[in-house]
Chains A and B, each alone.
Chain A
Amino acid sequence: MGLLLALITGILYSAAFYMMLRRSLVKLIIGLVLVGHASNMAIFTMGRLSKGNPPFIAEGAEVVTEPYADPVPQALILTAIVIGFGIQAFAIVLIKRVYQETRSDDLDKLQTTDDGLVRIVKAKRKKS
């Protein structure tokens, strides 16, 4: 089981990075979603998997007896899912706005943030 989950985590990570490296904005978002899931799966897999051992304290005992399923990684994942969901929702709205502004889905076309040099050359030419 652990091996299978580890493989799935690896596949998720590689799929995520592949998608993020594409030029399309929509694929970038898919990549972001996948990388979030991959991290969650990584935490889940590393949290010492245990089957059919709920973390209940047996009657008369003071602490839970080994082996038991550790609930903490799942609590972590739950928090991470909620936060990731919020960010993904924001990112989707953001790409919609970007698309409305630029009419383009191509990341390579988004270059207004570093156009300084081109304009400077023009300004210089004008000056001389």
Chain B
Amino acid sequence: MSLLLPLFIPFVAAVLCLAWWKDRRVQGWLSVVGLAAMFASALKLLFTVRAEGIQVVNAGGWDAPFGIVLAADLLSAIMLCVTALIGFTVTLYSIPAVDVKRESYGYYPLLNMLIFGVSGAFLAGDIFNLYVWFEIMLMSSFVLLALGGEKRQLEGAIMYVTINFLSSAIFLAGVGILYSLTGTLNFADLALRLGSVPETGLVTLVSMFFLVSFGIKAAIFPLFFWLPASYHTPPIAVSAIFSGLLTKVGVYALLRVFTLLFVQDIPYTSTVLMILAAITMIVGVLGAAAQWDFRRILSFSIVSQIGYMVVGIALFTPLAIAGTIFFLIHNMVVKTSLFLISGLVHHVKGSYKLRYIGGVYRDHFWLSLLFLVAALSLAGLPPFSGFWAKFILVKAGIEAGQFWLVLVVIASSLMTLYYLTKIWNEVFWTNEPEELDDPEPHTPGPGPLWLMVLPVGILVGITLAIGLNAEPIFDLAKETAEQLLGREEYINKVLGR
């Protein structure tokens, strides 16, 4: 039962928000309370799963593999916790930051529906169900992206909608082939039957369908161009929650299908993933280095960070998978906090363009401090959380003998430091440029500044806490990786054997 709570709470919150359609303050605080409750229930789920093993709910009492199954293993539970945390902080930030027009046209219900869809995707135990949850998540994200109707937003939304619809169509075609090969859609049942499918070539082919589909959602190398073109267009709170959650759902789906389903031809899939991961890291980092807009730098940086997560999936050792999970936790927190910081800078200085702003260090010391911690963590300097995440991946790479990949990881880390230094120099250290008018109008949010800083403070504090106390998180990640690679527990629990 504890499995269903993190799913129900955002849904109920969305419905209640609709009931209070006229009163946007009630909607905002209701969402904050709801997401705090979701975080608590997700933590409880994590403890339950850790103590008692994988939790399974058969919807409607139909046993797997015939009914719809919701299953929570450690990976799902961890992702739910981080999702609730991101949702909570971003909603808290939204209350003072998002303008009245957006709030009165259903911003909070959409936010809750988005989180509902994301949590559903993490709990789905059935590949078609995963598709449906994806669509719930995407539909909310489409509207959130276009909400407000600015020209830039609408253009970004066109690309975003097109590419995601295409990705869903590829996903569906993959599901169709998978069903015709095995006659089932349940993850656990699929995992069993795929092993005995005679046409292993065909199975690998299907795995590439899913790689392309989830690769589009996660924004890995040849499929990422939509991300830097659309993520910077909506208000910063929306960009932050997209950057924290949506691409990571793609990574989660990759992690799920490539550890549970497609393990027949690991040398082939691993090679493909490894090459893609390496190019993703490099291209993302180079793209970020070339940009002069705070949000666009961060958007490209999402792409390069996705590369690191794919490295772990590609290496396919327990340590590497643990590295991916650690990196996911670290990156969701840090990337969201960086986006929110760019929003704070915009709030106090009135622009996202590096050339138009400066002097934040002198005027707002605390803000620079928050950025510094988050940025150094992203770059992977000790003792912050990013260091441990990258350290685990590098160690796994060396143990697996993939030295070139390790070299790419380290090189792109250095480049990460470069573009973050660029932001630091241009935004925080230089003097404010005289009389440069940014063509984009600056509309500061209505609320108090301390309420905008509080969620960023929480996120940065968590990064710091993970960095200084990495051992328990690493143990958890290692346990999760072992659970993912030892597939029997999942299969047996879901099929009730």
Contact = CB atoms under 8 A, between A and B. Distances in A.
A22 interface: no
B165 A25 contact: no
Interface string B352-396: 010110000000000000000000000000000000000000000
Interface in A89-121: 90-91, 94-95, 97-98, 101-102, 107, 110-114, 116-117, 119-120
B154 A90 contact: no
B172 A40 contact: yes
Contacts, number: 126
Given A43-B175, A76-B175, A124-B355, A32 B436 contact: no
Contacts of B439: 119
A72 B149 contact: no
Contact of A43 (B132, B138, B165, B173): B173
A76 B176 contact: yes
B417 to A, nearest CB: 22
Given A32-B162, A87-B135, A123-B355, A39 B172 contact: yes
Nearest to A38: B169
A43 B172 contact: yes
A79 B185 CA distance: 14
Contact of B165 (A32, A97, A101): A32
A71 to B, nearest CB: 12
A86 B151 CA distance: 23
A90 B158 CA distance: 10
B355 A42 contact: no
A105 B222 CA distance: 27
B292 interface: yes
A98 B356 CA distance: 29
Interface in B167-197: 168-170, 172-173, 175-177, 179-180, 183, 185
Contact of B154 (A42, A43, A97, A124): A97
B296 interface: yes
A35 B149 CA distance: 27
- Decide if the interface of chain A is mainly helix, strand, loop or mixed: helix
A126 B433 CA distance: 11
B149 A113 contact: no
B155 interface: yes
A51 interface: no
B482 interface: no
B162 A42 contact: no
Contact of B179 (A40, A72, A95, A114): A72
A118 to B, nearest CB: 11
A127 B436 contact: yes
Given A101-B151, A116-B353, A43 B161 contact: no
Contacts of B166: 20, 32, 35
Give the top 6 A-B pairs by smallest Cβ distance, nearest first: A43-B176, A46-B180, A39-B172, A39-B169, A110-B155, A98-B154
Given A42-B176, A83-B135, 4 more contacts: A32-B165, A32-B166, A112-B151, A123-B355
Interface of A: 20, 25, 28, 32, 35-36, 38-40, 42-43, 46-48, 70, 72-73, 76, 79-80, 83-84, 86-87, 90-91, 94-95, 97-98, 101-102, 107, 110-114, 116-117, 119-120, 123-124, 126-127
11 contacts: A39-B169, A39-B173, A76-B128, A76-B175, A86-B139, A87-B135, A87-B142, A90-B139, A91-B161, A98-B158, A114-B228
